[in-house]
Chain A
Amino acid sequence: MRPVIRTLLLLLLCSVLSLSPLSLQAQPASKKLRIVTSTTQIADFTRQIMGDRAEVISVLAPGADPHTYQPTPDDVQLVLRADICMENGLHLEGKSWMATLARDADKPLVTATTGLAPLLVGEGEEAIMDPHAWFSPRNAALYVNNILKAVSGFDPANRAEYQARTRLFLQQLRVLDAWIREQVSRIPPHRRILVTTHDAFNYFCREYKFNPGNDFLSIAPVGWSTGAEVGAGITPERRRKVVQSIKESGAPAIFVETTINPKQIREIAQETGVAIGGELYSDSMGPAGSAGETYIGMLRENVLLIVNALQ
């Protein structure tokens, strides 16, 4: 075949393909936002708002501990490709690793706890703002509204859609809160003793009236963080207080957490003769396919375990 004819045939093929009915109907695919979050909970809240309009990726894998996490080179690459970064804040992310990742990559950072009135744990100069605020669904609603504001500002064209999804999710949180109150009411008030591995359940205890003898704050051998910050970790004094609380209150069961080594709690259970009530989701949601893979699922499963063990 002569080169001129071959070129003409090629041109013809290109013209036919470019004018085919399929190409006439094709819509330009809108670019998905890429949002990188520090924790699995914030990733779930963001997915509930964004639907399929964003690819939401959590730096922490299910079961990972945010207090002691060390970012990897892969995390740096992940954040470099992000449009927005989101963190819990209140020093949940040990040594502010998410803020550092976002700052180094020059990416906007949203702190989901902005505007929250945090619980203070510890006393005097050692008082720490408790970062585990998501354990109260009403705080979760504040996280969700903060995330909504941020993504609406970033992508105003789809604001109405984000608001519609948020409205539905907030109603689900409202129903979850009422359901927890109903479930917890099955436990006699004097048996509402929640002992866990670390001080993650303060907001939960305050909201649903657990641990009346401890000012409705959590009882745990390990402080607010598993890291090396002020007020964090385990001390002999804390451990002694926990054992004493269990013996005085007659708690029927104590609980281990999914993100922390259960050794301490198992030893305390042996020492005090109480049962292990089960494994609670705390600083991370469950893996994909588990009942705790969403925020609502995580709280639901925790509450069922607690109610079954304590009622």
Chain B
Amino acid sequence: MRFILTLLIWLVIIGGLWSYSRQRQAAEAEIVIRNPTLTLAKEVYSLKLTPTFSSEADPFALQTEDSGPVALELRLNGRLLPVPADQLNRGIPWTLEGVEGLVMGDNEIYLAASPPLSEGSLEHGMRVQLARAGVRVVDTTLWSSQGSLVSGTIHFALTAKEESHDH
């Protein structure tokens, strides 16, 4: 009799635990992560960078198997944009036409550039301008001090209304 009672208790506890874990798994499965729908901007945008310094090899740059030292890193919405590290010259704008990856709504540009070490005592900057058919959407200057990188994040929003205004 006692043996049957023990077996019964054992079955109830194990069954309860099994039922609990099944319920929890089912609840987790119900949580659906939905990626927000992103609409790419239709218009053609150009990005212009104007540095207060000329780029040179940076001994403090990260070096990996995939890439050598990079003097300028530019990301749009998390994606690296192609940049000409050896073509940045003091006061001379560099322009990227037909910027890809802009979306309607919130956007983010991240920029990090390394001014020459010999000019570490100077405050250096980089002017960042994003334009659509000659109309400026972003015009910001990022600054460095005391030898740090010229770096920063620029947030801006594109709306369908603004895009249609240009036509």
* Residue positions of A touching B, CB distance < 8 A: 4-5, 8-9, 11-12, 15-16, 19-21, 24, 137-138, 141-142, 145, 148-149, 152, 163, 166-167, 170-171, 173-175, 177-179, 181-182, 185
Contacts and interface: CB of A to CB of B under 8 A. Distances in A.
A4 B2 CA distance: 11
Contacts of A137: 60
Interface in B53-82: 59-65
A171 B149 contact: yes
A173 B9 CA distance: 65
Contacts of A173: 60
Nearest to B17: A19
Contacts of A179: 146-147
Contacts of B18: 19
A182 B65 CA distance: 34
Contacts of A177: 60, 117, 120, 147
A85 to B, nearest CB: 21
B164 interface: no
Contacts of A15: 10, 13-14
Contacts of A5: 2-3, 6
Given A152-B65, A177-B117, A177-B147, A16 B59 contact: no
Q: Which 8 A-B pairs have the closest CB atoms?
A: A178-B147, A178-B120, A138-B59, A174-B60, A145-B63, A19-B17, A12-B10, A170-B60
A16 B14 CA distance: 7
A174 B62 contact: no
A171 to B, nearest CB: 6
A138 B6 CA distance: 72
B159 interface: no
Given A19-B14, A181-B121, A175 B147 contact: yes
B117 A163 contact: no
Nearest to A170: B60
Contacts of B62: 145, 148, 163, 166-167, 170
A8 B6 contact: yes
Interface string B13-55: 1100110110000000000000000000000000000000000
A170 B21 contact: no
Contacts of A21: 20-21
24 contacts: A5-B3, A8-B6, A12-B6, A12-B10, A15-B10, A16-B14, A21-B21, A138-B59, A138-B60, A145-B62, A145-B63, A148-B62, A149-B64, A163-B64, A171-B148, A171-B149, A174-B117, A175-B148, A177-B120, A178-B121, A178-B146, A179-B147, A181-B120, A182-B120
Contacts of B3: 4-5, 8
B115 to A, nearest CB: 10
A174 B148 contact: yes
Contacts of B121: 178, 181-182, 185
A273 to B, nearest CB: 35
A177 B146 CA distance: 9
A16 B17 contact: yes
A174 B146 CA distance: 9
Interface in B94-152: 114, 117, 120-121, 146-149
A177 B115 CA distance: 13
Given A8-B7, A178-B121, A185-B121, A16 B60 contact: no
A182 B122 CA distance: 11
Nearest to A20: B17
Nearest to B118: A181
Given A138-B60, A138-B117, A178-B148, 12 more contacts: A8-B6, A9-B6, A12-B6, A19-B18, A137-B60, A141-B60, A152-B65, A167-B62, A175-B147, A179-B146, A182-B121, A182-B146
Contacts of B64: 148-149, 152, 163
A185 B146 CA distance: 13
B5 to A, nearest CB: 10
Contacts of B13: 12, 15-16
A141 B146 contact: no
B60 A24 contact: no
Contacts of B59: 138, 141-142
